[in-house]
């Protein structure tokens, strides 16, 4: 049996039982091999933009006797996938910018899936905001720490997959706005913090998010101190940026001290 890393295990845990799984950027093919072996997916399609990773994936697929249930495809994003072909689409281990591009270019395919499991490794604030503005509903989010790095994992779906109109889906995404906004935070600041750190992670009082926030607080304080000690006119903008990020970290940490009625719901 393949032993998944903590990051990949979190991705696998977010995949619902399905008929066909598509793994975009499959690399070694560990995710489809494990999910088919565990019975969470009846069949799988392992895709990658480069031939090298596909050859590695094919080797693992043969080793675990999955050749009849997992096929590989050379694919730039979702280009080799047909609309409605996959019940669940996994995209993980990439920068947030690249993942946004894959979702945009493969929109006709992506929006026919029942759910998406997404693991962006950068540009997290922009990525969550993109999902919100493009009509994706975040159903769940978790975060794991591995080898000193922090990885969020998001389960999302679209209005079409949820069987809703766009208007009702927007209303259903109201976890982005608390029913009772705490007095110590403005709506503008709340929205920024929610996109930066994940509304559901904050709502869960997620312990790994708290670790991440404390780590970020320490880092931002060190950066700000360094900038002040080496103050230059052209560093003014960077100082303001770090100060804003530090203020957001501090406000986010306050959520962990709020009574239940003040947390995001």
DSSP 166-231: HHHHHHHTGGGS-SS--TTS-HHHHHHHHHHH-HHHHHTT-HHHHHHHHHHHHHHHHHHHHHHHT-
| Helix (H) or strand (E) run with residue 61 in it | helix 51-63
CA atoms within 13 A on the CB side of 40: 15
- Provide the β-strand partners of residue 224: none
Helix (H, G, I), strand (E, B) or coil at 22: strand
- 265 has a pLDDT exceeding 50: no
What is the pLDDT, as a whole number, of residue 93?
92
* CATH code for the part of the protein at 6-172: 3.40.50.150
Residue 160: band (very low, low, confident or very high) from pLDDT cuts 50, 70, 90: low
Band of residue 3 on the pLDDT scale cut at 50, 70, 90: confident
Contacts 24+ apart (CB under 8 A), 143-150: 143/198, 143/201, 143/206, 143/208, 143/209, 143/212, 144/6, 144/7, 144/9, 144/10, 144/208, 145/6, 145/208, 145/211, 145/212, 146/5, 146/6, 146/7, 150/208, 150/211, 150/212, 150/215
| 159 — pLDDT class (breaks 50, 70, 90) | low
Q: Return d(Cα 175, Cα 260) in angstroms, integer.
A: 14
Helix (H) or strand (E) holding 58: helix 51-63
pLDDT at 13: 97
Asked which of 60-69, 86-95, 150-159 is least confident by mean pLDDT, the reply is: 150-159
What CA–CA distance (Å, rounded) separates 138 from 152?
Answer: 12
In the prediction, which pLDDT does 173 show? 41
- The DSSP H or E segment spanning 74 is strand 70-74
Q: Within the chain, which residue ranges are assigned CATH 3.40.50.150? A: 6-172
- Span(s) in the chain for CATH 1.10.287: 187-262
Of 23, 48, 49, nearest to 34 (Cα)?
23
The token duo for 66 is 């999955």
| Contact assessment for residue 143 and residue 209, using Cβ atoms and an 8 Å cutoff | yes
Is the predicted pLDDT of residue 246 greater than 70, yes or no? Answer: yes
Mean pLDDT for 88-113 is: 96
* Average model confidence (pLDDT) across the chain: 87
What's the CATH code, domain 187-262?
1.10.287
Note if the pTM is more than 0.75: yes
> What pLDDT is attached to residue 175?
42
How confident is residue 262, by pLDDT bands cut at 50, 70 and 90? very low
Using the predicted structure, report yes or no on whether residue 51 has a pLDDT greater than 70.
yes
**pLDDT tens, position by position, 210-233:** 999 999 999 999 999 888 887 766
Q: How far apart (Å, rounded) are the C-alpha atoms in residues 188 and 149? A: 29
Q: Please say whether the beta carbons of 47 and 80 come within 8 A.
A: yes
Confidence category of residue 184, pLDDT binned at 50, 70, 90: low
Whether the pLDDT of residue 168 is over 50: the answer is no
Name which residue leads in pLDDT, 88 or 233: 88
User: Which pairing describes strands 136-146 and 149-158: parallel, antiparallel, or unpaired?
Assistant: antiparallel
């Amino acid at each position: 049996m393949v032993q998944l890393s903590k990051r990949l295990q979190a991705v696998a845990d977010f995949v619902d039982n399905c008929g066909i799984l598509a793994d975009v950027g499959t690399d070694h093919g560990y995710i489809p091999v494990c999910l088919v072996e565990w019975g969470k997916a009846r069949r799988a399609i392992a895709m990658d933009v480069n031939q090298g990773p596909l050859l590695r994936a094919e080797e693992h697929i043969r080793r675990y006797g999955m050749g009849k249930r997992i096929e590989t495809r050379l694919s730039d994003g979702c280009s080799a996938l047909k609309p409605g072909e996959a019940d669940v689409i996994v995209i993980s281990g990439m920068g947030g910018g690249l993942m946004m591009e894959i979702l945009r270019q493969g929109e006709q395919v992506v929006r026919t899936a029942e759910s998406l499991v997404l693991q962006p490794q950068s540009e997290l604030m922009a990525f969550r905001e993109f999902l919100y503005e493009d009509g994706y509903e975040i159903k769940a989010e978790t975060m794991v720490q591995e080898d000193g790095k922090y990885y969020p994992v998001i389960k999302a779906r679209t209005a079409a997959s949820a069987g809703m109109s766009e208007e009702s889906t927007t209303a259903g995404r109201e976890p982005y706005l608390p029913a009772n906004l705490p007095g110590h935070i403005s709506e503008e600041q709340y929205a920024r913090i929610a996109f930066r750190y994940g509304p559901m992670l904050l709502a869960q009082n997620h312990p790994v998010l708290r670790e991440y926030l404390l780590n970020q607080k320490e880092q931002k304080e060190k950066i700000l101190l360094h900038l002040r000690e080496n103050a230059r006119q052209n560093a003014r903008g960077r100082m303001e940026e770090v100060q804003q990020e530090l203020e957001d970290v501090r406000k986010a940490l306050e959520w962990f001290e709020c009574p239940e009625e003040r947390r995001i719901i």
